[in-house]
Structure 1
Amino acid sequence: MYGLWVGWLTLTLLIHYGAEIVLGLSAKRCLVWGSGLQSEVVLPVRYFFIQAADKSGRNLSTSPGENVFSVGISPIDGSRSRIWVQVLDRHDGSFLVRYKMYGSYEDLRISITFKEKHVSKSPYILKGNIYHELCPCAQHDTVSWRTYMQCQPRYEQIERDLLPFPTVDPEKIAQEIPKRFSRFHSLCHYTIKDNKIYRRTFGQHVDFKMFMDAILLSLTRKVYLSDVEFFVNLGDWPLEKKEVTDPALLPVFSWCGSDETQDLVMPTYDITESTLETMGRVSLDLMYVQANTGPVWHNKTNLAFWRGRDSRQERLDLVRMSRKHPHIIDAAITNFFFFKHDEALYGPTVAPISFFDFFNHKYQINLDGTVAAYRLPYLLAGGSLVLKQDSSYYEFFYKDLVPWKHYVPFRRDLGDLMDKIQWAKDHDEEVQKIAKEGQEFIRNNLMSEQIFCYYQSLLEAYAKRHTSVPKIRQGMELVEQPKDDLFPCTCHRKHQMKDEL
């Protein structure tokens, strides 16, 4: 009877006063860190982290409640501002705070409170001019920019991609790439000159140039880029075959790479858009996923889950497996296009569900689509175990992932998938660790700064290989920076010669 009374009292306290009272959360013992506390780091959406801790200084590993922290951001002088703030509960004792500035300000105060007490070293003061995303105020000192963005000193994927191209002749590529590829593929020819962007398109389906335009415009608002000339493949499939050798080998920038090609791989248009449009037109981004990871592990279902369109035979094979083993795999096609004639066999289609509902399940199956499945970063960020198909396709970060550390691999023909799912069920504790490692990889390597860093590093390394001066060629047009009439800014940076890496 006494135990029942204590349980009732505990539940009453949780409901009435909030979980933070029972957990003994301490405002001063909490940790706060992140680039969003630095004036110099300009991102479409700035962010920082809060780690909740108890009175003994131990970090909490479960959520103390999503509304325990209050965050306010405003100019110190009390002037009016437009800053949108979101506090995202990551449900592991930590919080991601993101904020979008619609104007540029001088001297901001960031106040973080718990029960009206300042958290950690709050208030944090961002001194000087804090520029918003649309303010064209490029940093001339590249080394300093890379330092406060915490760019990696080197990217092995970039080094591998550039290895076949010790030198690059802009004159040659301007003539040869359109002749080789533009008949069947869509391309964009870019020149960056004096930190301005010029381009010409080739082919019929060139709408995806908007993603490349957007990231280049955003990057050149932040840092001065070396003069450079390059071609971007606007399709999914990488183009330059590995059997092509010098002197015919040509460098093409692509969203995706493969073991059979030697394109220069960039972050996909999907992750590029989610980086630029966070808290904007996209709902699926790597920040928001971290706050929508579904139930705690032991409340997730034991099903292996997949949804998608019919862009590869193995996807149909997975649906067949799901029908044979519905208590193990839940897989269905949401749209038939490539195998329309097989819809009667593998259909009917099911309605798409929210991506966040994927994480109601412990196991996520990642299958190739037309090329690499661009959903992998989001699956890894979601905290479920990712079972990844062996593939010849890869994104820019794949080679840094370690099988059995960040995900569980299975054969391309799905021949061992059932065995791998059973292994996962038999090793639940180990699987949780793998899921956590995959999540941590995304948190540490694919946040906004690293996407900008990767683009800048690739363009700078490529520019160093030029054997002649890049040109604004016939047919190219200037890609204009977007106008920001509502929130114009004044750039206070002093012009200086750009430091070279």
Structure 2
Amino acid sequence: MLRLVYIILLTLFASGLCEEQFCSADSADFCKNNESDNQKLYTKATNEGYQKYLTMIQDAEQNHKECNNIKNSCFSDVIRRDLSPFKKKGISEEMIVAAKTRGTFYQIIGGKLYREKDCMFPARCAGIEHFLLKVIGNLSDMDLIINTRDYPQSSEYFGNAMPIFSFSKTSQYYDIMYPAWAFWEGGPAISLYPRGLDRWDRHRKLLNKSSSDIPWEKKENKGFFRGSRTSSERDNLVLLSRNKPHLVDAQYTKNQAWKSDEDTLHAAPASEVSLESHCTYKYLFNFRGVAASFRHKHLFLCHSVVFHVGDEWTEFYYYAMKPWIHYIPVSKNADQKELEDLIEFARNNDDLAKKIAYRGRDFIWNNLRMLDITKFWKQLLKSYGKLLTYKPVLKKSLVQIEKKQ
């Protein structure tokens, strides 16, 4: 009899260790999933309306293999894809001259960095130059056109591909994606961050601490969004929040163009909220801005589920992140009913939601370190340099950019 009791207690203790169903990389030694565990998750939902979501998760998991960013393997496909339009004929000096008005002109000559005197956004140029100076040592001589605007510059609807570097684009653009300046400097400025978002390496640590202070079980069981009304794609979530505040807290803040409450969908603008405060909620919504959203990578570090709206606008690392594996995908045209269904699905499948949240966090934490950003820049420029069909000559009008002391 005592032996039977001991076995029962041992079984309960073992199951308790794995009750989370998913363990982050930090706790992988303590908990492992198996097929029967996953099957229990998929049979939890009694509402047949959730079956389509469960099926998409199951299909995604069966076809997914997590990347490991050794030798930048997570993102090398992006470099090949973006440079492919120039592979056959190469990049000529005439192409560079034609593209000069679309961005800031740089030269790398003899292991030194040069730039045209004026930069449209000095902080953005500084954020780019930080990484260029870190990788410049072993690079061949090259000319670069780096776009510091939010919007890409080389559209497939307006002629041949132009060798222009941009931080974000859609599939309709030829631009070559590079890691945004905001990883180091020049991020968006709001009242909470008047000089722009802080460096990514610092924010990583702050968000990691915030997520540790608020474990999954203590997060508010609702969606959350704060941001300005950059586009009407955000309206339905804000309206849902007004109709069903127990499901989501989504409000508009002021932006530089704000003139009246009409610009915040006929309501007084809400106060801005720090990124760390986002970690209080289980479900965080990410919308594009003018291009891809700078908050995207930050949200994942909260150990919260990211509801990523739309799939058109991308940054270089987006392609390695998979829907239903690392985030919950949301149509950019989702109406209030669809948004409500997705939130309710997450609320009623807490184990699955947590699993997606932790996988998304681990991807960003493990594969988007400052080291990974530097490695991407180096691989990108080495591959780009091989495509130049001419030998660049230093332009006398340029100024040398040196490392800051």
**Which range, TM-score by smaller chain?**
0.7 to 0.9
Q: 1:224 offset after TM fit, Å?
A: 2.2
Q: Percent identity over the alignment?
A: 26
Match of 2:132 in 1: 216
Q: What do residues 169-202 of structure 1 show as CA deviations (whole Å, max 9, x unaligned)?
A: 34213321135x3xxxxx2111111110011166
Among 145, 152, 156, the alignment partner of 1:238 is 152
The one-letter amino acid of 1:313's match is S
Q: Specify the alignment match of 2:370 in structure 1.
A: 448
| In 2: Cα distance, 1:281 partner to 1:328 partner | 31
- The answer as to 2:296 corresponding to 1:376 is yes
Q: Structure 2: 5+ residue runs without aligned partners?
A: 1-24, 33-68, 188-196
Q: Distance in 2 between matches of 1:352 and 1:396?
A: 28
Contact 1:366-1:386 at 8 Å conserved across structures: yes
Partner of residue 314, structure 1: 233
Instruction: Find the counterpart in structure 1 of residue 185 from structure 2.
Output: 273
Contact 1:274/1:286 (8 A) holds in 2: no
Measured at CA, do residues 203 and 234 of structure 1 come closer, stay the same or move farther in structure 2, by a change above 3 Å?
Answer: same
- Determine helix, strand or coil for the equivalent of 2:400: strand
**Alignment match, 1:254:** 166
Instruction: Measure how far apart 1:473 and its partner are.
Output: 2.0
User: Which deviates further from its counterpart, 291-300 or 387-396?
Assistant: 291-300
- Quick check: which one's helix share is greater? 2
Classify 1:435/1:297 alpha carbon distance in 2 versus 1 (closer, same or farther; 3 Å): same
Choose 1 or 2 for highest CA Rg: 1
Structure 2 counterparts to residues 153-168 of structure 1, below 5 A: 153=73, 155-166=76-87, 167-168=89-90
State whether residues 188 and 201 of structure 1, in contact with CA within 8 Å, keep that contact through their aligned partners in structure 2. no
Counterpart of 1:446, as a letter, is: L
Number of equivalences: 330
Could you tell me which amino acid in structure 2 is paired with residue 380 of structure 1? Answer: F
Secondary structure at the counterpart of residue 197 of structure 1: strand
Q: Which amino acid aligns with 1:238?
A: P
Residue 230 of structure 2 aligns to a residue whose secondary structure is coil
TM-aligned CA distance change 1:274 to 1:232, over 3 Å? closer
Residues 99-151 of structure 1: CA distance to partner in whole angstroms, max 9, x if unpaired?
A: xxxxxxxxxxxxxxxxxxxxxxxxxxxxxxxxxxxxxxxxxxxxxxxxxx953
1:225-259 CA-partner distances (Å, limit 9, x unpaired): 222211000101111002345xx421100111212
- The 3 A distance-change label for structure 1 pair 206 and 178 is farther
Which residue in 2 is equivalent to 1:336?
A: 255
**What does residue 383 of structure 2 align with?**
461
Distance 1:427 1:59 in 2: 23
Change (3 A) 1:314 1:281: closer
Change in Cα spacing, 1:325 to 1:253, as seen in structure 2 (3 Å) is: same
Could you list the runs of 5+ residues in structure 1 that have no partner in the other structure? 1-49, 62-148, 182-186, 484-501
Task: Say whether residues 1:439 and 2:356 are aligned partners.
Answer: no
CA distance 1:407–1:197, shift in 2 (3 Å): same
Amino acid at match of 1:212: I
Alpha-carbon spacing, 1:191–1:443, altered in 2? closer, same or farther (3 Å): same
Matching residue's letter, 2:368: L
Look up the match of 2:52. Answer: none
Contact persistence 2:305–2:327 (CA under 8 A) = yes
The answer to whether residue 398 in structure 2 is matched with residue 480 in structure 1 is: no
Partner of 1:490: none
In structure 1, the residue corresponding to 2:72 is in which secondary structure? coil
1:19-76 Cα offsets, whole Å, 9 max, x none, are xxxxxxxxxxxxxxxxxxxxxxxxxxxxxxx9699xxxx6599xxxxxxxxxxxxxxx
1:196 corresponds to 2:196: no
Report the counterpart of residue 286 of structure 2 in structure 1: 366
Q: Which residue of 2 aligns with 1:228?
A: 142
1:401 & 1:51 partners in 2: Cα distance? Answer: 20
Check if 1:403 corresponds to 2:323: yes
Q: Deviation at 1:299? A: 1.1
CA contact (8 A) 2:185 2:198 kept: no
> For residues 374 and 226 of structure 2, what CA distance do their matches in structure 1 show?
30
Distance in structure 2 (CA, Å) of the matches to 1:52 and 1:309: 37
Letter in 2 for 1:258: T
Provide the C-alpha distance between the structure 1 equivalents of 2:279 and 2:392, rounded to a whole number of angstroms. Answer: 47
Mapped contact 2:125–2:181 kept (Cα < 8 A): no
Partner residue, 2:274: 354
In structure 1, what is the equivalent of residue 210 of structure 2? 292
Is 1:418 the counterpart of 2:340? The answer is yes
TM-score (norm 2): 0.75
Larger relative contact order (Cα-Cα within 8 Å, sequence gap ≥ 6): 2
Quote the offset at 1:273 in angstroms.
3.5
TM-score when scaled to structure 1?
Answer: 0.61
Counterpart of 1:198 in 2: which secondary structure?
Answer: strand
Q: CA deviation at 1:471?
A: 2.2
What amino acid does structure 2 have at the position aligned with 1:160?
A: R
RMSD: 2.8
- Displacement after TM superposition at 1:272 (Å): 3.8
